[in-house]
Structure 1
Amino acid sequence: MTITADHIRATLTAYVDEFPEDKADLALPLSLLDSGAELSSRKEFRGHATAGAVLVNEHKHVLFIHHVALDKWLTPGGHLEPEDATLSGAALRELTEEAGIPAGAVTLAGNGPVHIDVHPIPENPAKGEPDHFHVDFRFVFRTAGSELVTLQEEEVSGYTWRPVGSIADDRLRARVEALTA
């Protein structure tokens, strides 16, 4: 079951209700939804939704993976798939795919995304993709199983657990700290 525009809109609305200071940053996805764009499709090159997982362990450390294609340390996440029913489910799927952590070893912290980041993605001629925007719905998950990581080596070449305070984005860091205090 594909994630619907109604689900994305409801998630955005609930998020803006909780974090009204972020509303201006979400003008692009809100206007795209109003125009009838299908944000769940990665072929919507004005902007499309992605889902990310911020996994926090019992020591208040966050899982970072080394993304091969981007050569960057990131939290797990990626594009939505047709079988995804919810944004949080897509984030959990990405976490299990990229880090191999069993879904049963984590719990969702909070009721919705802790952060929604809209950021540009450069053109990728090899994939036939023009420059576009990702609307990244970031969810916080908790685990007591730091040793459970088994990497998907096609996309990920390493992992590390870093203190929550090492999250670079100020807003995301503050919200993860508040949620896991």
Structure 2
Amino acid sequence: MIHDDALALLASWTPPSPHDETLRDRYLAHLRSRPDGLLKSCFPDHLTAGAIVVSPDASAVLLNHHRKADAWLAFGGHIEPGDATLAAAARRELVEESGLTDFDFDPTPLSLDEHAVDFCSDRGTVHHLDVRFVATAVPDDDHVVSDESLDVRWWPVDALPQTFDDMYRLIDVAITRVAQSTLPLSPS
């Protein structure tokens, strides 16, 4: 069921950049050739889902210092058997990794990212084909640090921590979407 949802969602999605369009086409080809393409067991590539959390005024982002990656990242991870949609998987990962319960969530993908991960499989390096969404929440202390993180913290957009270049791109895209949004996000 989630396989069909992922195909339909990505096929109908209008990518915001040529980079995202290239990745969307790669993800669609992967899903069409691999019925197991969403599962962690699919080697060496599988889809993952995640969300970046932005304050409603687009002035801050909530990030987690990921334990295994040892880097400040958005929230996300593997698709699990109970996930009905990619958006549901991203929401679940957000809640598990941040403890947030009060947030709004946009079910339209924000961006795509493919990245190699050395610690995901004992068979070698895998590629996460990440589908990213955006959520908004009021910056406060209503978050927790999960077992997967060393820290979870709100960062002003003008004082971000050291991270990967792609995270800065994702933050820029998320801030722009939230700042320009005229449609209400759906409640969590």
TM-score for the superposition, normalised by structure 2:
0.80
Over 3 Å counting, the alpha-carbon distance change for 1:29 and 1:107 in structure 2 is same
Would you say 1:24 and 2:17 are equivalent positions?
no
Offset of residue 18 of structure 1: 4.0
Aligned to 2:37: 39
The correspondence for 1:158, drawn from 144, 151, 164, is 151
Give the paired residue count. 172
Offset of residue 140 of structure 1: 0.4
Quick one: distance in 2 between partners of 1:82 and 1:13? 22
Q: Could you report, residue by residue, the CA deviation over 1:52-109 in whole angstroms, capped at 9, with x for unpaired residues? A: 110112452111111111211111111111111111111111111111111xx01113
Aligned AA (1:149)? H
Quick one: distance in 1 between partners of 2:140 and 2:176? 21
Cα RMSD of the aligned pairs, angstroms, is: 2.2
**Paired-residue identity, %:** 31
Superposed counterparts of 1:78-157, under 5 Å? 78-102=77-101, 105-109=102-106, 111-122=107-118, 127-152=121-146, 154-157=147-150
Offset of residue 41 of structure 1: 0.8
Over 3 Å counting, the alpha-carbon distance change for 1:178 and 1:123 in structure 2 is closer
Please tell me whether the aligned partners of residues 29 and 47 of structure 1 are also in contact (alpha carbons under 8 angstroms): no
Offset of residue 20 of structure 1: 5.8
Please tell me whether the aligned partners of residues 54 and 175 of structure 2 are also in contact (alpha carbons under 8 angstroms): no
Aligned AA (2:152)? Y
Offset of residue 155 of structure 1: 1.2
Aligned to 2:170: 172
Over 3 Å counting, the alpha-carbon distance change for 1:123 and 1:65 in structure 2 is closer
Select the structure that is richer in helix: 1
Superposed counterparts of 1:41-80, under 5 Å? 41-59=39-57, 60-80=59-79
* SS of residue matched to 1:48: strand
Aligned AA (2:134)? V
Aligned AA (1:162)? W
Aligned AA (1:19)? P
Over 3 Å counting, the alpha-carbon distance change for 1:55 and 1:97 in structure 2 is same
Quick one: distance in 2 between partners of 1:94 and 1:150? 13
Offset of residue 46 of structure 1: 3.0
Bigger shift: residues 139-148 or 76-85: 139-148
Please tell me whether the aligned partners of residues 15 and 111 of structure 2 are also in contact (alpha carbons under 8 angstroms): no
Quick one: distance in 1 between partners of 2:10 and 2:73? 23
Please tell me whether the aligned partners of residues 139 and 154 of structure 2 are also in contact (alpha carbons under 8 angstroms): no
Quick one: distance in 1 between partners of 2:174 and 2:49? 16
